[in-house]
């Protein structure tokens, strides 16, 4: 039983089987077995208990016109082979003749304006005829159409062989061919724009289909369970609904045009031997890749060798480069569009050139000179108080600073800072000689006075800083002068 039955029948038919009908309180029955109800002067047929093969439904029961046939009224009446619906009937519920497996012919009267999925599982049905006076429906080759013959509403499920729809048909309704198990091939006109949900559901003998050029959409489960083997979808098609070709177990190839922009979920569920043929960079290729379905391109691919070679030149670690140049490189990399055809080779080459240019433009960040600046702050403003040797070492360290080095030379910059720090730490002040400080302890004391006295009397060798008055060499007067300083008198 096809899925659509479950979608439409929300109420269980308590009296929908020919073998046994439980009559409602207000129901009555004709001698022919037609079960009906009268309401407001109109008759609604609600069931059938008869066994006739050919049934002409009466236009009047008693003095009231028959205006409606209720949902499932003739469901599973397997004796019926033909039914004529009178001109008084305007509306029909769902699944009115569902499961009437011997029913081969139905004639619709002139007033019917509401026929919706009335013939489900009527597997012997070969014609649905419509009164020429009907303003809502018409019949073409036994199929039920709207009056303008632009919408195919129901195909007779018992017809065998191939089918070709006429130009002018724009839409195939939901479930129109559903369960047409004897249909083997169909040709669709260029005028056809839309194939409705479950339109060819469970057409188990449908091997071949030829699409027209005007088709734009295929709705959900449209070909579910069909016997299709190879399918070529027309250019101009944009949408393929979910599960559209599910369980087409014999389907080995399908060609999807570049115009398709939407492919629903599980479109090819159960199509285990399928290969998708399409165009590079198309929705078909994306879908095939995402669902791990083999894909074959219908056009030669562009050569990405130069792009791949350029990408190999990109440094693994970009942390040493300036943000601006790294961003430019990332933009070039992100601009690579894969799976372009050979006709787009120029674009692919431009992508490679953009990457090459961005790699060449990468600029290293500058080294950090903070430690150097801090070391320079420690250098005394004047080096005149220090020995020439240690002062020159500081000057050399300062003059040895090389600016504008990149971050890759950070170790060298840090070494410059250390050289300055070490030179400053090694500075030695010049020692100032104090007149009379013979022992070199930085002051004139009694020991110094005594030593000068020894020099004056010839007991030790005189020195220049012992001549306190600078007159006549080292004398006792110089010793007395030193002693006065030592004891604080001078």
Q: What pLDDT score was predicted for residue 22?
A: 40
Q: From CA 263, how far away is CA 233, in angstroms rounded?
A: 13
Do 410 and 382 have their domain in common? Answer: yes
pLDDT digits (tens, 9 = 90+) for 158-181: 999 999 999 999 999 999 999 999
Q: From CA 488, how far away is CA 481, in angstroms rounded?
A: 11
Q: What pLDDT score was predicted for residue 3?
A: 47
What's the half-sphere exposure (Cβ side, CA atoms, 13 Å) at 327?
3
8 A C-beta contact, residue 153 and residue 113: no
Q: What pLDDT score was predicted for residue 465?
A: 87
C-alpha angle 433-434-439 in degrees, rounded to nearest 5: 90
Q: Is residue 460 part of a domain?
A: yes
Do 317 and 341 have their domain in common? Answer: yes
* Axis-axis angle for helices 446-456, 476-486 (nearest 10): 180
For 35, 74, 375, 432, the CA distances from 387, given in Å and listed in that order, are 130, 123, 20, 11
Residues 6+ apart with CB under 8 A from 277: 253, 254, 255, 256, 295, 296, 297, 298
Number of domains in the chain: 3
Q: What pLDDT score was predicted for residue 206?
A: 98
Q: What CATH number does the domain containing 393 carry?
A: 1.20.1270.90
Q: Is residue 468 part of a domain?
A: yes
Q: Is residue 50 part of a domain?
A: no
- Burial code of 46-76, b = ≥16 C-beta within 10 A, e = fewer? bbbbbebeebebbbebeebbbbbbbbbbbbb
Q: Is residue 330 part of a domain?
A: yes
Do 353 and 388 have their domain in common? Answer: no
Find the domain containing 334 and state its range.
305-360
Q: Is residue 65 part of a domain?
A: no
Q: What pLDDT score was predicted for residue 25?
A: 39
Q: Is residue 142 part of a domain?
A: no
Structure token digits, residue 373: 């600046």
Do 310 and 356 have their domain in common? Answer: yes
**Which segments in the chain show pLDDT lower than 70?**
1-26
Domain's final residue, options 360, 384, 401: 360
Q: Is residue 349 part of a domain?
A: yes
8 A C-beta contact, residue 260 and residue 238: yes
Q: From CA 232, how far away is CA 217, in angstroms rounded?
A: 14
8 A C-beta contact, residue 397 and residue 417: no
For 97, 194, 329, the CA distances from 36, given in Å and listed in that order, are 16, 39, 80
Q: What pLDDT score was predicted for residue 464?
A: 84
pTM score of the predicted model:
0.68
Query: Is 188 exposed, middle or buried (CB count within 10 Å of its CB: 0-12, 13-18, 19+)?
Result: buried
Structure-token match 């903070």, residue found: 370
Domain's final residue, options 360, 385, 402: 360
Query: Is 487 exposed, middle or buried (CB count within 10 Å of its CB: 0-12, 13-18, 19+)?
Result: exposed
| H or E segment to which residue 486 belongs | helix 476-486
Domain's final residue, options 338, 360, 382: 360
Q: Is residue 234 part of a domain?
A: no
């Amino acid at each position: 039983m096809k899925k659509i039955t479950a979608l439409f029948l929300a109420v269980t038919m308590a009296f929908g089987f020919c073998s046994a009908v439980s009559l409602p309180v207000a129901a009555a029955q004709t001698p022919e077995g037609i079960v009906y109800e009268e309401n407001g002067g109109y008759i609604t047929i609600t069931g059938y208990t008869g066994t006739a093969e050919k049934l002409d439904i009466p236009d009047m029961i008693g003095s009231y016109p028959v205006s409606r046939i209720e949902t499932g009224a003739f469901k599973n009446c397997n004796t019926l082979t033909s039914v004529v619906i009178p001109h008084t009937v305007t509306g029909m519920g769902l699944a009115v003749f569902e499961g009437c497996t011997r029913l081969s012919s139905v004639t619709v009267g002139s007033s019917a304006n509401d026929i919706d999925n009335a013939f489900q599982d009527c597997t012997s049905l070969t014609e649905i005829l419509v009164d020429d006076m009907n303003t809502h429906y018409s019949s073409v080759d036994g199929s039920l159409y709207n009056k303008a013959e632009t919408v195919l509403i129901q195909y007779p499920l018992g017809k065998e062989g191939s089918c070709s729809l006429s130009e002018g048909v724009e839409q195939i309704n939901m479930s129109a061919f559903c369960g047409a198990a004897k249909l083997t091939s169909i040709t669709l006109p260029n005028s056809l724009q839309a194939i409705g949900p479950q339109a060819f559901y469970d057409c188990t003998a449908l091997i071949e289909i030829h699409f027209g050029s005007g088709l734009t959409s295929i709705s959900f489960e449209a070909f579910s369970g069909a016997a299709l083997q190879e399918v070529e979808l027309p250019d101009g098609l944009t949408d393929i609904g979910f599960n559209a070709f599910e369980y087409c177990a014999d389907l080995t190839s399908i060609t999807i045009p570049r115009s398709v922009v939407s492919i629903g979920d599980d479109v090819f569920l159960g199509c285990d031997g399928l290969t998708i043929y399409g165009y590079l960079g198309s929705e078909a290729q994306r879908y095939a890749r995402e669902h791990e379905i083999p894909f074959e391109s219908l056009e030669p691919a562009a050569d990405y060798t130069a792009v791949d070679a350029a990408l190999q030149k990109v440094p693994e670690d970009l942390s040493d480069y300036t943000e601006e140049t790294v961003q430019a490189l990332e933009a070039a990399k992100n601009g690579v569009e894969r799976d372009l055809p050979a006709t787009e080779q120029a674009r692919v080459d431009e992508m490679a050139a953009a990457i090459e240019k961005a790699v060449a433009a990468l600029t290293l960040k500058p080294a950090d000179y903070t430690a150097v600046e801090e070391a320079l702050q420690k250098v005394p403003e004047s080096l005149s108080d220090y020995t020439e040797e240690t002062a020159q070492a500081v000057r050399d360290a300062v003059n040895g600073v090389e600016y504008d080095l990149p971050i890759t030379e950070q170790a060298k910059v840090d070494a410059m800072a250390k050289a300055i720090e070490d030179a400053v730490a090694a500075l030695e002040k010049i020692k100032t000689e104090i007149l009379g400080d013979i022992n070199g302890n930085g002051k004139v004391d009694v020991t110094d006075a005594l030593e000068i006295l020894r020099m004056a009397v010839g007991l030790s060798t005189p020195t220049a800083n012992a001549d306190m008055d600078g007159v006549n060499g080292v004398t006792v007067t110089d010793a007395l002068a030193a002693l006065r300083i030592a004891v604080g008198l001078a």
